[in-house]
Amino acid sequence: MADKTILLVDDAAFMRMMLKDILTKNGYDVVGEAENGVRAIEKFKELKPDLVILDITMPELDGIKAAKAIKAEDASALIIMCSAMGQQAMVIESIQAGARDFIVKPFQPDRVLEAVKKVIG
């Protein structure tokens, strides 16, 4: 089975590093990283990853808008949103924007992996 490819998007390099660590240790291939929504869309078009893990709160273009743009580019794109705030409204908005799941910071490896497995196997 080929490794599943993942694009990580978070304005905090530390958060991307934590996620990358969790994912690569478990056999996923992190093919790209982006620090804002604008770069996320560019990287998505360039890399065509199996999954995008998108932070909600980012400069230039937030995760919700980026998710909508990615879904507009490719309706079958798989997205998991993450946020530090456990706000119900954000979760609902994320799902409406096309996200398949939602993970909350600080990241718990088990929860991250459960979400990723659920969405891309």
Predicted pLDDT at 87: 67
Task: With a cut of 80, say whether residue 88 has pLDDT above it.
Answer: no
Contact 19/10 with Cβ under 8 angstroms? yes
Task: With a cut of 60, say whether residue 63 has pLDDT above it.
Answer: yes
Q: Tell me the average pLDDT across 24-52.
A: 97
Burial bucket for residue 74 (CB in 10 Å: 0-12, 13-18, 19+): exposed
Specify the pTM: 0.94
Question: At 17, is the pLDDT very low, low, confident or very high (cuts 50, 70, 90)?
Answer: very high
Sign of CA dihedral 86, 23, 121, 73: positive
Task: With a cut of 60, say whether residue 1 has pLDDT above it.
Answer: no
Q: Tell me the average pLDDT across 75-80.
A: 98
Task: With a cut of 90, say whether residue 106 has pLDDT above it.
Answer: no
Contact 64/94 with Cβ under 8 angstroms? yes
